[in-house]
A = this chain, B = another copy of it.
């Protein structure tokens, strides 16, 4: 098994999170979990490309949310069936191939992956979740052989301290492995994520595995996961492109024996998901700015989200930010396309603390805004109510175009 270096320390905005050296354990931080990451040549670089996370119990509770794209990869079609009863023993993940639009052969590959893992773990294949990420349309016989081999190798390498290896094995164009661990009152949540492009609500080119040793029922796990992802991953919209392979999975071992306070657990899970979402944003392909769009005084939260997303998906706005140009007119042009309740001529727009537009007319000179830092704040005051939402996005850069213009070659 090849072990790659530990990830970079946690971001400053996640200072309260556990970033223990040499490597944050992530999915193996909570009791009751083992993991592994191995390299079997799915990636041309030879880096790790197959990961397995196993829940040793005593509970085998699981919940998952999936991409809302109707074009779903074979692992998504499989995992949706596995999760239906709220039980899963393990999850197998590969990078280096999406196994999407690969026909019935591709679905059989996913099925065989689950059978191989189940046989080696002594459980049923219907309790094995599968995730894949990589190029759409790739999933031939060579792919199948490597995934099956990798599944066996990873299970042979399982260890209670290999969360970091698993986090590395799911990376695609990510530049850093992404893990988070947070400790509650007698319980722990650990997580890993991959994703650096095709980041959009519902969800992203994003695979996330979250583990906890708290005691939860399947219904509680599902409710907590949906509540947390709704305000974190679903608010991340790096490039407006929705993936075919996204899956966020929560595995519950109950090994701590502690039933958590529901509010405390929900807040911690949301914190974990938000921290990972910010890590994904910070590693987005080619981006030079991390843009936080806060929409305030909206008539409803849905309105605030719609307005924020309209800006996050506006290429002219995104290109302007790349050029350090606080082009507030493009913000107004973007939000004018929404159906949200507000008067375009009453809106205020503030860039990095400087209000450039007040009630739909110029306010402070744009020269007062310094957009050279990577962290960029845009606040849109709709003056239409008291709801709010925050959307996380990135700028549109030469490097984004470059990285995505020859991905399959």
Contacts and interface: CB of A to CB of B under 8 A. Distances in A.
A222 interface: no
Interface string A34-65: 00000000000000000000000000000000
Contacts of A243: 333
Interface string A330-343: 10111111100000
B316 A197 contact: yes
Interface in A379-409: 396-398, 400-402, 404-409
Which of A316, A362, A400 counts the most chain B CB atoms within 10 A? A316
B71 A332 contact: yes
A220 interface: no
A1 interface: no
B103 A361 contact: yes
B319 A400 contact: yes
A interface SS class: loop
Nearest to A319: B404
Contacts of A402: 398
Contact of A325 (B332, B334, B359, B406): B406
A70 B339 CA distance: 9
Interface string A73-105: 000000000000000000000000010111100
Given A314-B241, A329-B135, A357 B101 contact: yes
Contact of A137 (B362, B407, B409): B362
A14 interface: no
A328 interface: yes
A8 interface: no
A243 to B, nearest CB: 7
A247 interface: no
Contacts of A239: 315-316
Nearest to A242: B337
Contacts of A366: 408
Given A137-B357, A316-B239, A361-B103, A244 B336 contact: yes
Interface in A95-140: 98, 100-103, 106, 135-137
Contacts of A136: 327-330, 332-333
Nearest to A135: B329
Contact of A333 (B68, B103, B241, B401): B241
14 contacts: A71-B332, A71-B333, A71-B344, A101-B329, A101-B361, A106-B361, A137-B329, A240-B313, A319-B400, A319-B401, A327-B407, A327-B408, A329-B408, A397-B401
Given A242-B333, A325-B407, 8 more contacts: A68-B337, A241-B330, A316-B407, A320-B404, A320-B407, A323-B407, A325-B405, A400-B401
